[in-house]
Amino acid sequence: MALTPGDEKTLDRPTFLHEGVFVLKGSLVRILEVSQGGDEAVVEYTDKEGFPHYIKGVRAEELK
């Protein structure tokens, strides 16, 4: 699957804690940057209060 900045994807990673915020499996994220090889991305996750959080190192296979 090709990752393109601006695309919205569903995060298929078990629920995890990121900088004090729980990111739930199945959350909608927006791709901001893609690594050279296209296998990892930086994504933006918006929490329930509307604050953005930037998650680095999300693998392509963790996005639907």
Assigned domain for 57 exists: yes
Which tokens in the block code for residue 19? 């900088």
Q: Where are the alpha helices (DSSP H) in 1-64?
A: none
Tell me, what's the pLDDT at 2?
80
Assigned domain for 54 exists: yes
Q: Which residues form the domain of 26? A: 8-62
pTM tops 0.85: yes
Assigned domain for 3 exists: no
For 10-48, the pLDDT digits (tens) are 999 999 999 999 999 999 999 999 998 888 999 999 999
Which of 53, 6, 2 has the alpha carbon at shortest distance from 27?
A: 53
